Structures are given as structure tokens and as C-alpha cells.
């Protein structure tokens, strides 16, 4: 696992970070067993895990979906990725998965969380094929027109757009459909979207409790139904098996299926831009 020993330095803590205000990036890091989180994050993560039993499995299954989606896209010839809401580097970062399969792969990481970006920059030092930028996905222009995005990614060729575990932070009044359309428009034909998203379709009471916990963080969560999540793929051809529990999206090993998908509160899918 990528983790800088805390005693080594605190450079993953950028100046001005409010350590008292829990963030989704650091809560997720904690649930995945990472070390880049503060006491307030750990406290709320424990409440999160109590409200939604199986949270650690859910996080791990989401992460495994991300890996499989990247490898699937690579098997279709994609070698460049825009990973929005990339999180704090942890097991199986996109550039590691992609560059292991093809060292020429290029990755632009985007996150709104300063700790996520700071730690990403730290581990990407010396990697000329991957960058991390701090931006809010609700400002697509800032991301799509960013100098690093334009330098590293070739928009004339297919790109793998990764929106994994992030759109449930976008409320309806921010118009998620319009945002996704804006990201889709500049992509070349043959590009892919991988998206995963919290749902309350199953275990609604537990999800409501988890949503209440997250109201005390920087990143409230807005779960959506399977139908609504499917609509987010507008303009992409949704590939088989459609929008399903993360563990059921093209599982590649017995262990993926052994993850008790019925507990999963995250639905996922992959679409292709015609
Ligand atoms: C649950 S983590 C997912 C990390 C990674 N994509 C994965 O699936 O393993 C969600 C990430 O989305 C980021 N995020 C939340 N709202 C965002 C926004 N408006 N713009 C960019 N990133 C955002 C959080 O900071 C966090 O790092």
C-alpha cells in the first residue's frame, strides 16, 4: 500500500487544511486502511461504518471496480485517463494499474481535497506521464482546459474518463447531467466513462443514517436510484452488464464474487462514447 510513514514528514498535509473538518477523501482513506487522515476523519469514519455495516468492504469493492474498469478500457486500446475525484493515493492507483500494463499510459488525477492532491503530487514526483491537479468537478472548464490536462492528454484519441465514487457528492441543483455532458463533449469517439455511485435502493434506513453522518463533513452524500444513475450515462452506450453492484461488474476472480455483493451500496457501470 502507498503510505508515507507519518514520522518521515508531514508534507502530505498542505498548509491551511482544516484538520477538524472531516473530508470524504480522508474518511475513505481511513476505511481502506490508509494513514492519511486526522482524528476528526477517523471519528466520523467510525460513525459511518456503524451506520452502514460493511463499509470497509464497500470501499474495497469500489476500488476493485476501478481497477477492473481501467484494465477493461486498456484492453480496448485506451492508454490515457482522466480520473476525477481520484482520492488519496492508496492500493491500486490508476497510474500504477495502467503503467504496469503499458508504461506509456498517461493519467491526470483531479481532486478537490488538498490532502489528496498534495499526496498524489508527492508520489508522482519523477513520473512524467502522470499529474495531479486540484479542482472542483463542478467547474469542468477548469479541469478540461487546465494546462496539465491539455499537455498530457490527447483529446483526438480515446480517453478513459473515471468518475468513480464521486458523483454522489454532486447535488441535483448542481445539474449532474449537464456536468457529465460537458465532460463527454470533448472526448473522442471510442472514449469510455466509468462511474460508480452510492444508492439507497437497498438498505435505505442504513443509507439514511450514513447520509446523516456525512452531513457533519465537508462532503455531504446524495445517493441516487439505479434508474437515475443509469441516466447519468446519457450520450454513452452503456456496456454489459449495465449498472450493477460494483462486485458484479465483470468480476475477474472468485474473490470479487465472494465479496457479498448484496451488501453493496455502490452501483457501477461503464459506457462507451459512440
Ligand atoms: C470516495 S473517494 C473516491 C476515490 C477514488 N475515485 C476511488 O473510487 O477509489 C471520493 C473523492 O472525490 C473527491 N471529491 C468530492 N467532491 C469533489 C468535487 N466536487 N470535485 C472533485 N473531487 C471531489 C473527494 O475529495 C474524494 O477524494
C-alpha 24 to ligand 1 mean position (Å): 7
Quote the CA–CA distance of 190 and 160 in Å, as a whole number.
Answer: 9
Phi, psi of 184 (to 5 degrees): -70, -40
Q: Give yes or no for a contact between 161 and 194, defined as CB atoms under 8 angstroms apart.
A: yes
- The predicted-structure confidence for 53-99, as pLDDT tens digits, reads as follows 999 989 999 999 999 999 999 999 999 999 999 999 988 899 999 99
**Nearest CA owner, ligand 1 atom 9:** 63
Pocket probe mutation, ligand 1, options 1, 27, 62, 87, max atoms within 8 Å of Cβ: 87
Model confidence at 172: pLDDT above 70: yes
Coarse DSSP helix, strand, coil percentages of the chain, rounded to the nearest 5 percent:
40, 15, 45
Q: Give yes or no for a contact between 134 and 111, defined as CB atoms under 8 angstroms apart.
A: yes
C-alpha 157 to ligand 1 mean position (Å): 25
Cβ count near 266 (within 10 Å): 21
Q: What angle do CA 132, 25, 143 make, to 5 degrees?
A: 35
Model confidence at 36: pLDDT above 50: yes
Which residues, in sequence order, are bridge partners of residue 238? Answer: 271
Among candidates 197, 181, 170, which has minimal Cα distance to 236? 181
C-alpha 166 to ligand 1 mean position (Å): 5
- Summarize the confidence of residues 112-126 as an average pLDDT: 94
Quote the CA–CA distance of 165 and 16 in Å, as a whole number.
Answer: 26
For a pLDDT cut of 90, what percent of the chain falls above it? 85
Q: Give yes or no for a contact between 233 and 271, defined as CB atoms under 8 angstroms apart.
A: yes
Residues 6 or more apart whose Cβ sits within 8 Å of residue 227: none
H-helix segments, the chain? 24-31, 39-51, 55-75, 94-101, 114-124, 140-144, 147-152, 176-184, 204-214, 226-231, 254-257
- The pTM for the full model equals 0.94
Pocket probe mutation, ligand 1, options 28, 36, 85, 267, max atoms within 8 Å of Cβ: 85
Look at the block and give the residue holding cell 444513475.
229
| Alpha-carbon distances of 258 from 61, 198, 248, rounded to whole Å | 11, 20, 10
- The predicted-structure confidence for 134-158, as pLDDT tens digits, reads as follows 999 999 999 999 999 999 999 999 9
Find the residues whose C-beta lies inside 6 A of ligand 1: 23-25, 28, 62-63, 66, 85-87, 111-113, 116, 136-138, 164-166, 169, 219
Quote the CA–CA distance of 186 and 240 in Å, as a whole number.
Answer: 24
Among candidates 188, 175, 165, which has minimal Cα distance to 139? 175
- Summarize the confidence of residues 2-7 as an average pLDDT: 41
Q: How confident is the model at residue 8 (pLDDT cuts 50, 70, 90)?
A: very low
- The predicted-structure confidence for 216-271, as pLDDT tens digits, reads as follows 999 999 999 999 999 999 999 999 999 999 989 999 875 666 556 666 799 999 99
Which residues, in sequence order, are bridge partners of residue 245? Answer: 267
Quote the CA–CA distance of 88 and 251 in Å, as a whole number.
Answer: 24
Average pLDDT, the chain: 92
Pocket probe mutation, ligand 1, options 24, 57, 68, max atoms within 8 Å of Cβ: 24
- Summarize the confidence of residues 183-210 as an average pLDDT: 96
DSSP codes of every residue in 192-219 = EEEEEEE--SSSHHHHHHHHHHHTTSSS
Model confidence at 9: pLDDT above 50: no
Hey, what's the cell of 47? 460513525
Q: Using the atom order of ligand 1, give the atom closest to the CA of residue 170.
A: 19
Amino acid at each position: 500500500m502507498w503510505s508515507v510513514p507519518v514520522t518521515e514528514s508531514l508534507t502530505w498535509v498542505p498548509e491551511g487544511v482544516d484538520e477538524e473538518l472531516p473530508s470524504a477523501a480522508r474518511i475513505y482513506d481511513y476505511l481502506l486502511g490508509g494513514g492519511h487522515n486526522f482524528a476528526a476523519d477517523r471519528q466520523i469514519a467510525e460513525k459511518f461504518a456503524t451506520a452502514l455495516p460493511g463499509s470497509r468492504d464497500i470501499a474495497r469493492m469500489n476500488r476493485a471496480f476501478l481497477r477492473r474498469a481501467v484494465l477493461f478500457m486498456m484492453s480496448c486500446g485506451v492508454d490515457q485517463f482522466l480520473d476525477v475525484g481520484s482520492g488519496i493515493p492508496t492500493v491500486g492507483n490508476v497510474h500504477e494499474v495502467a503503467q504496469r500494463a503499458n508504461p506509456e499510459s498517461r493519467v491526470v488525477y483531479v481532486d478537490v481535497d488538498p490532502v489528496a492532491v498534495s499526496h498524489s503530487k508527492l508520489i508522482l514526483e519523477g513520473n512524467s506521464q502522470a499529474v495531479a491537479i486540484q479542482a472542483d468537478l463542478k467547474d469542468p472548464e477548469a479541469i478540461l482546459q487546465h494546462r496539465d490536462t491539455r499537455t498530457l492528454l490527447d483529446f483526438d484519441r480515446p480517453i478513459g474518463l473515471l468518475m468513480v465514487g464521486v458523483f454522489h457528492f454532486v447535488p441535483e441543483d448542481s445539474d449532474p447531467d449537464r456536468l457529465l455532458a460537458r465532460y463527454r463533449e470533448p472526448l473522442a469517439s471510442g472514449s469510455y466513462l466509468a462511474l460508480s455511485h452510492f444508492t439507497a435502493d437497498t438498505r435505505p434506513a442504513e443509507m439514511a443514517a450514513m447520509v446523516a453522518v456525512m452531513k457533519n463533513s465537508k462532503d455531504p452524500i446524495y445517493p441516487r436510484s439505479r434508474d437515475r444513475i443509469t441516466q447519468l450515462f446519457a450520450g454513452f452506450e452503456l456496456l454489459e452488464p449495465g449498472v450493477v453492484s460494483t462486485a458484479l461488474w465483470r468480476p475477474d476472480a472468485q474473490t470479487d464474487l465472494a465479496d457479498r455483493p448484496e451488501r453493496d451500496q455502490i452501483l457501477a457501470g461503464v459506457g462507451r462514447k459512440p
